[in-house]
């Protein structure tokens, strides 16, 4: 019998890579999807198909982390062996504009899912393993290198909410003996990264600038340093955490840190452009409180899980730029055919 997994946030960057990984391991993969007035399955369209047909690798179920009753129903329907809680309002800057909503989905949403899972385990007698998508943002102002023992100092409503979720998971593990793991993942990117996160915002704009479709790129703080890895590598770590004998918490990172300015410079150099000719600073992209320097120490994950990243900073950057040059070429074809394409201007 194949194992089944439920992924919240399956339509997001990580959800799509994780779904691919689990399908490749012959899991029956189920995903929670939010109702939207437009299609929101672009990242998983290659895995998803008409549910009336057999052989479709993933199944989607409407649900939302703000709706506990729905979460319970989905758990009862799917009967998962593993649950990956990746759903979140995941943008730090937006969390300053929508703090209550962010807390409701990220912190209370995790609690709702844990409560539903606790009851499901009690009634079904099934041992279900659970992964919580924690973030290096929880470390915030704590000095690098950050590891599992570093005290949290969150700097945004998003980070505070992730800290709450982290402690809910630890508390439920201690109180009820549930198999629950916190991943503390440092920033991870890919060609599927949301276009308002800084790396993708840069590579997306760069593709358009290179093809003459955009003149300027507006950014905020260029001095912040991040430990950027590849999302495809990081979902492996999520899965590995749930395959261990005991539940635990793990930092997942590359151990290398670069500034936004470094990323910008390397990306523009790669296509023979000077970023200074195109980039302007716009104060609205600054955060009310910033996280200056993240660099993870993932020794524990490397030793206990046997995990290590395969894609380094240069390869990640080139992968993203190459992808977005291709996208810009397609956009140019559309524009030449008379279509209107809107870009830029968001967080």
Active site amino acids? 135, 137, 158
Q: Interface residues with ligand GDP (CB under 6 A)?
A: 92-93, 137, 187, 196-198, 201, 219-221, 224, 226, 260, 285, 287, 290-291, 347
Q: Whole-number minimum distance, CB 244 to ligand NAP, in Å?
A: 20
Q: Whole-number minimum distance, CB 185 to ligand GDP, in Å?
A: 11
Q: Whole-number minimum distance, CB 264 to ligand GDP, in Å?
A: 9
Which of ligand NAP, ligand GDP, none sits in contact with 287, Cβ below 5 to 8 A by type? ligand GDP
| List 12, 57, 144, 255, residue binding ligand NAP (CB under 6 A) | 12
Which of ligand NAP, ligand GDP, none sits in contact with 188, Cβ below 5 to 8 A by type? ligand NAP
253 binds ligand NAP (CB under 6 A): no
Residues 96-125 that bind ligand NAP (CB under 6 A): 105
90 binds ligand NAP (CB under 6 A): yes
Which of ligand NAP, ligand GDP, none sits in contact with 96, Cβ below 5 to 8 A by type? none
| List 5, 14, 204, 324, residue binding ligand NAP (CB under 6 A) | 14
Q: Which residue is nearest to ligand GDP (CB)?
A: 224
CA–CA separation, 12 and 342 (whole Å): 22
Sign of CA dihedral 145, 146, 150, 153: positive
Which of ligand NAP, ligand GDP, none sits in contact with 92, Cβ below 5 to 8 A by type? ligand GDP
Q: Which residues contact 158 (CB under 8 A, 6 or more apart)?
A: 88, 89, 90, 91, 92, 94, 95, 102, 106, 135, 137
9 binds ligand NAP (CB under 6 A): yes
| List 47, 117, 142, 185, residue binding ligand NAP (CB under 6 A) | 185
Q: Whole-number minimum distance, CB 110 to ligand GDP, in Å?
A: 18
Burial status of residue 327 (CB atoms within 10 A of its CB: 0-12, 13-18, 19 or more) = middle
Number of CB atoms found within 10 A of residue 175's CB = 9
**Contact residues for ligand NAP, defined by CB under 6 A:** 8-9, 11-15, 32, 34, 36, 40, 64-66, 86-90, 105, 133, 135, 185, 187-188, 194
């Amino acid at each position: 019998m194949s194992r089944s997994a439920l992924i919240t946030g399956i339509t997001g960057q990580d959800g799509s890579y994780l779904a691919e990984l689990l399908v490749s391991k012959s899991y029956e993969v189920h995903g929670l999807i939010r109702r939207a007035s437009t299609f929101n399955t672009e990242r998983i369209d290659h895995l998803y198909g008409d549910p009336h047909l057999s052989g479709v690798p993933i199944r989607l179920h409407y649900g939302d982390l703000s709706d506990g009753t729905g979460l319970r129903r989905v758990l009862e329907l799917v009967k998962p062996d593993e649950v990956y809680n990746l759903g979140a309002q995941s943008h730090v800057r937006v969390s300053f504009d929508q703090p209550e909503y962010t807390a409701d989905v990220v912190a209370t949403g995790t609690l709702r899912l844990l409560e539903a899972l606790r009851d499901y385990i009690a009634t079904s007698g099934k041992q279900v393993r659970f992964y919580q998508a924690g973030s290096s943002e929880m470390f915030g102002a704590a000095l690098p290198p950050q590891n599992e023992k570093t005290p949290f100092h969150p700097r945004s409503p998003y980070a505070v909410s992730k800290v709450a979720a982290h402690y809910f998971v630890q508390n439920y593990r201690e109180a009820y003996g549930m198999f629950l793991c916190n991943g503390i993942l440092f920033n991870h990117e890919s060609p599927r990264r949301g276009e308002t996160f800084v790396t993708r915002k840069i590579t997306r704009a760069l593709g358009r600038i290179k093809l003459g479709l955009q003149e300027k790129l507006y950014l905020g703080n260029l001095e912040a340093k991040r430990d950027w890895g590849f999302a495809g590598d990081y979902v492996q770590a999520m899965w590995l955490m749930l395959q261990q004998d005991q539940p635990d918490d793990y930092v997942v990172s590359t151990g290398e840190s670069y500034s936004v300015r470094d990323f910008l410079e390397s990306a523009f150099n790669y296509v023979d452009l000077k970023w200074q000719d195109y980039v302007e600073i716009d104060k609205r992209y600054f955060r009310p409180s910033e996280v200056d320097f993240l660099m993870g120490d993932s020794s524990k994950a490397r030793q206990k899980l046997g995990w290590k990243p395969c894609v380094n900073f240069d390869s990640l950057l080139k992968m993203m730029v190459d992808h977005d040059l291709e996208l810009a070429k397609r956009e140019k074809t559309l524009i030449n055919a008379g279509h209107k394409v809107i870009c830029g201007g968001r967080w």
